[in-house]
A and B are shown apart, each in its own frame.
Chain A
């Protein structure tokens, strides 16, 4: 049975390899010059142009998407089979020794149990839908083959991560996931912002990864083993000695902070929206960012032994949740709103982890994956159809894209925590657990919930309701906005149904089937909190939606850049159309709140802070090292040696005068010396 587990990450990995090799062979991947005529990559949707005229290349472009869908689908199927086997009582695991270094045996272990099986379903399921969506979304993109290769690589890495049963495989997959994320964010790398965003994501998560690595080192040093079960037995039993008991979980949490975008390592996620939207859906909503939460849940025995660490975790989670929710209120780019929403929801999960209810955190991870992916893909549908993603330029799309609008609404309601959607069940779990012993967290998360409902409703009302917005370009040339192709709305529909139904799996009145299957320890209060928390949460959610309705749907006026109310041309009988502009409520809010608004809008200036305090000095030091030390000192030494040698050689060269008589003189002198020595010796 365990052997099957290897097939799960292996299938998408094989697809990646095939696509890379085929692409390289057909010169579809690789150096930009090899890809034929450059397309305009200023917008997210570049008109395609590749190696023109090669039918094999065209075939590969079409096949790439479907091939990668098949890859993840196969992985998902195998995963389901394995999960059923596990439920049937079998132990589905694989454990071999990969290699030895000194006394350390480096293992390669995979396992599928309740928690890991759930993750495989989430990762595999969302992956399949996103791959499918990408077939439509990325159609015509110049680098579509490379895209699907990278996407398959990511899926393989993520699957490997959740199947890992020892720290070595975990870290390996962790890094691979980071790399593929970097590659995918920088997909439109000719855009400097995209390239910078990729670097930022990678470097920021790297900081967290260092913490994780140090934690792993400490564990190896203390327990001589990398296998989960050995380490967990140590942690729960004798426990890690002294300060390590608290330090190790905190180090591991650093890795989680990086990947799951918690304060202060969250700054990469909004920038990561430079990548294609399906990437944002898969990686930065459903899977990679969940890796941090999964990590803590998986290694929970280490955390459970250190309540001090859990407190830190909880605070970071709650602060992140609240902070991100406020920033989401002011963002104008659809994807940025969703990005901050993700950060905030991850904060919810982390708070739950800190409060001792990892099962609730994983449940929320589960539901969040579905509805956040849905929201992102819905946004992708809008972006693909309308060609733009800023709220100022979008409006009234509900009429033209009914399926997208409907599914988006489902996702929004789920995010806002309205029953019976999935988000309600999982959020209620978390809030209920907090009520028992963490009032501060509860207050912060309730406030965050209110804001969450508000901003997601804002997004929905502005984009899908109200008058349509026409931009100058649209009136001239483009075809009117239409609903997306089936390849794209089918995943939306699937996700919407999922988010409607899936929440029940963790519902109390069904006996918490999901939580039971996870097999996680419960360190805090029992699941299923007091009723008043549920009521308050739902009330806040509804309040948020209603306020947004009042602010944006009842009076959907816009303020154009010039400050006046915008108006557009409206052919007689057609629905009203306006020119682009900010929603009026946003403008009034900024006027009344002034600097507070701007502070929030700029993410509390954390990016600028990091830039000044961390990046700039670092770059300065690096520059100094490069110029003063490398160029002057080291090059100076190297060049100096060369100069010495040439100088010496030049001097010695003058001995070679080419004159016979000089050589004779030298020989004579030599004869003299030798003869004198001989004579002396003979005396």
Chain B
């Protein structure tokens, strides 16, 4: 099982890199999905470890996918609203909270 976990770790790292690096909001979301999948992979891997008949990890993964779907929907809706407001999806432009 170790290789799976290492794989998920690597994928997670790639996701982090992507979130911190990309300027476009949609590609940030792409990176976020990468991270989420890495986590799902991890959970599914672990579901085989203890009481595999309960499928806890897989249940979590399913829920994760469901939640990811809603989050992507709302997130993209937000991105569109921001695009309408600012004329661009560059996250660096949206800095209203700047102190």
Contacts and interface: CB of A to CB of B under 8 A. Distances in A.
Interface in B44-99: 91-92, 94-99
A657 interface: yes
Contact of A659 (B16, B19, B95): B95
Contacts of B99: 653-658
B1 interface: no
Contact of B96 (A658, A664, A665, A668): A658
Interface string A155-177: 00000000000000000000000
A657 B20 contact: no
Interface in A280-319: none
A660 B20 contact: no
A659 B92 contact: yes
A654 B95 CA distance: 13
B91 A661 contact: yes
Q: Which of A653, A664, A665, A668 has its CB near the most chain B CB atoms (within 10 A)?
A: A664
A270 B69 CA distance: 97
B11 to A, nearest CB: 15
Contacts of A659: 91-92, 95, 98
A668 B28 CA distance: 15
Contact of B94 (A654, A655, A658, A665): A658
Q: Which of B92, B96, B98, B99 has its CB near the most chain A CB atoms (within 10 A)?
A: B99
A544 B85 CA distance: 106
A668 B98 contact: no
A660 B16 contact: no
Contacts of B19: 661, 664, 668
Interface in A479-520: none
Q: Which of B94, B96, B97 has its CB near the most chain A CB atoms (within 10 A)?
A: B97
B95 A665 contact: no
Contact of A658 (B16, B28, B95): B95
B20 A664 contact: yes
Contacts of B98: 656-659
Contacts of A653: 99
Nearest to B19: A664
Interface residues on B, range: 10 to 19
Q: Which of A655, A656, A660 has its CB near the most chain B CB atoms (within 10 A)?
A: A660
B91 A665 contact: no
B91 to A, nearest CB: 5
A658 B20 contact: no
B8 to A, nearest CB: 14
Contacts of B97: 656, 658
Contacts of A657: 95, 98-99
A609 to B, nearest CB: 65
A668 B92 contact: no
Interface string A644-683: 0000000001111111110011001000000000000000
A352 B94 CA distance: 94
A376 B21 CA distance: 98
Contacts of A655: 99
Contacts of A665: 20
B42 to A, nearest CB: 13
B20 A668 contact: yes
Contacts of A660: 28, 91, 94
Contacts of A656: 97-99
Nearest to B98: A658
Contacts of B91: 659-661
Nearest to A667: B19
A630 to B, nearest CB: 35
Contacts of B16: 668
Nearest to A664: B19
B41 to A, nearest CB: 17
A664 B16 CA distance: 9
Contacts of B20: 661, 664-665, 668
A661 B97 CA distance: 13
Nearest to B95: A658
B62 to A, nearest CB: 24
Nearest to A655: B99
A441 to B, nearest CB: 84
Contacts of B95: 657-659
A427 B95 CA distance: 96
Interface in A145-197: none
Interface in B24-44: 28
Contacts of B28: 660-661
Nearest to A668: B16
Interface string A238-250: 0000000000000
A594 B45 CA distance: 121
Nearest to A661: B20
Interface string A413-449: 0000000000000000000000000000000000000
Nearest to B99: A656
A374 B95 CA distance: 87
A668 B15 CA distance: 11
Nearest to A652: B99
Q: Which of A653, A655, A658, A668 has its CB near the most chain B CB atoms (within 10 A)?
A: A658
Interface string A619-654: 000000000000000000000000000000000011
A655 B96 CA distance: 14
Nearest to B16: A668
A658 B86 CA distance: 15
A655 B99 CA distance: 8
A653 B98 CA distance: 8
A654 B94 CA distance: 16
Nearest to B25: A660
A659 B97 CA distance: 8
Nearest to B32: A664
B88 to A, nearest CB: 14
8 contacts: A653-B99, A654-B99, A658-B94, A659-B92, A661-B28, A661-B92, A664-B19, A668-B20
Interface of A: 653-661, 664-665, 668
Given A656-B98, A658-B96, 8 more contacts: A656-B97, A657-B99, A658-B95, A659-B95, A661-B28, A664-B19, A665-B20, A668-B20
Report the 3 A-B pairs with minimum CB-CB distance, sorted nearest first: A658-B95, A658-B98, A656-B99
